[in-house]
Amino acid sequence: MFRGRLLLFLAFAIPVVLVSAIGVGGYVTFTKARVDPLTTADAIVVLGGEHDGREAYGISLAEQGLAKTVVLSDPYGSGDSTMKKACATSSQKFEVLCIPPVPSTTRGEAMFTQELARERGWNHVIVVTWRYHLPRARYIFDRCFDGTVTMRPTPRSYDFSLVEWEFTYLYQIAGFVKAGLQGSCEDSTSD
């Protein structure tokens, strides 16, 4: 009888502890991720993802004089109206490049950033993405980009439910595992 109750208790307690640990750890690691102070850079690289204002934010940083090039990751295809507008931005103060990443992942974005840096002599980029993606993006860029990276979140809030936050944290953790298994970008050019 005691053994049955213990098993029942463990069947409920273990998932609660795991979900709680992921929630608390995810909040500290991802939701409260470190944000670097803004400094001038060679380029601003806006990672693909949700159209949450990141493209406009990256362009606004260039308008403030923080870089002379904005690189917009464009994995969306030719029919995406947000990217059409952002890629058509013209200014005498900076250029806008729209590049589809290969592979269409953060790793692919870090790889094309490294390639552009070699071609153009860049040593420092500002990377714009979701706040909760900053730690993983930093990890991948540290493995794939030889220069200095300033990580900046898209300035917005996230009105996620607890379930959505839990899924977001699990997704980021899985992405970290995948990035760790892939090794540095010099180890392989595939995703």
Question: Domain locations in the chain?
Answer: 32-182
Contact status, residue 110 vs residue 147, Cβ threshold 8 Å: no
Calpha distance 48→113 (Å, rounded): 13
Q: How many residues can be counted in the chain?
A: 191
- Within 10 A of 38 (CB to CB), how many other CB atoms are there? 12
Query: Which residue do the tokens 């970290």 mark?
Result: 176
What pLDDT is stored for residue 187 in this prediction?
56
Q: Which CATH number fits domain 32-182: 1.20.1070, 3.30.160, 1.10.1060, 3.40.50?
A: 3.40.50
Confidence (pLDDT) at 9: 66
Edge-to-edge strand order for the sheet containing 124-129? 95-99, 69-73, 43-46, 124-129, 148-153
39's CB contacts (< 8 A; 6+ apart) are 66, 124, 150
- Confidence at residue 30, expressed as pLDDT on a 0 to 100 scale: 81
Do residues 41 and 66 make contact, with C-beta atoms less than 8 angstroms apart? yes
Closest CA relative to residue 144, chosen from 37, 45, 35: 45
138's tokens: 């930093």
Which residue matches tokens 């996620």?
160
| Contact indicator for 172, 140 with CB cutoff of 8 Å | no
So what's the pLDDT on residue 189? 47
DSSP-H helix ranges across the chain: 2-26, 54-63, 81-87, 106-120, 134-144, 162-182
- For the chain (191 residues), the mean pLDDT of every run of 10, in chain order, is 70 72 76 92 96 95 97 93 92 94 95 97 97 95 96 91 90 92 71 41
Cβ atoms 76, 83 nearer than 8 A:
yes
Other CB atoms closer than 10 Å to residue 156's CB: what's the count?
Answer: 13
